[in-house]
Amino acid sequence: MKKSVILGCGLLLLGIGVIAALVFGGLYNRLVGLQEAVDSAWAQVENVYQRRADLIPNLVATVRGARDFERETLEAVVQARSRVGQVQLQGTPTAQELEAFQAAQGELSSALSRLLVVVEDYPELRATEAFRDLQAQLEGSENRIAVERRRFNEAARAYNTSRRRFPANLVAGILGFDEKPYFEAAPGAETPPAVDFSG
């Protein structure tokens, strides 16, 4: 009788151990899959930002050909692109790295916006086919950036939600699955720009 009770308890403990291992393994595999989705989404974000950065030398060369074009505006674009290149990330960024990356990219976006506004005063430049093509490609890049940032945030949300749920939070805590940061709107983005038609 005692042997059968001991054997029964041993089988019960073995069964519990197998079930716990299967649950642990399943949760681990799910977190790994979600983490890879975040890393993949981040790689695509970097890809579209790189596409934009690759277009800038052609844009600057095209604009530089215009007589008397405002040199400071071109230099601001070139310097902002240089600062973007200085932000080196290895894999999916931490919150601090993402903040630095966003700041550099925001500065480049701002410089490009100023460049495109200034170009309005140069009708002969706007009329060139090369400039129109580059402007269309830059606009397409900005749209792609917005789409890929949204996809990255969706992947980060799915990962962060999963890692915080019980019992996955136990597995995540034990195995070091850290929270992924989100892209956030630039400070002041909630305030609409002032439009002045009195000129």
Query: Does the pLDDT of residue 95 top 70, yes or no?
Result: yes
Distance from C-alpha of 160 to C-alpha of 156, rounded to nearest angstrom: 6
Give this prediction's pTM.
Answer: 0.74
Distance from C-alpha of 118 to C-alpha of 155, rounded to nearest angstrom: 38
- pLDDT tens per residue, range 71-94: 777 788 888 888 888 887 888 888
CA dihedral of residues 117, 120, 126, 132 (deg, nearest 10): 30
Task: Provide the terminal-to-terminal Cα distance of the chain, rounded to the nearest Å.
Answer: 99
Q: Domain coordinates of the chain in residue numbers?
A: 2-175
* 144: Cα separation from own chain's centroid: 11
State whether residue 75 is helix, strand or coil. helix
The pLDDT of 141-167, averaged and rounded, is 91
Number of H helices and number of E strands within the chain? 6, 0
**Average pLDDT of the chain, as a whole number:** 82
Residue 152 contacts residue 44 (beta carbons within 8 Å) = yes
pLDDT value of residue 196:
44
- pLDDT tens per residue, range 40-65: 999 999 899 888 888 888 888 887 77
Give the count of alpha carbons within 13 A of 131, CB side only. Answer: 18
pLDDT value of residue 85:
81
Instruction: Output the six-digit token pair for 70.
Output: 């405002």
Confidence of residue 199 (pLDDT cuts 50, 70, 90): very low
pLDDT value of residue 189:
52
The pLDDT of 14-18, averaged and rounded, is 85
Query: Does the pLDDT of residue 154 top 90, yes or no?
Result: yes
DSSP 108: H
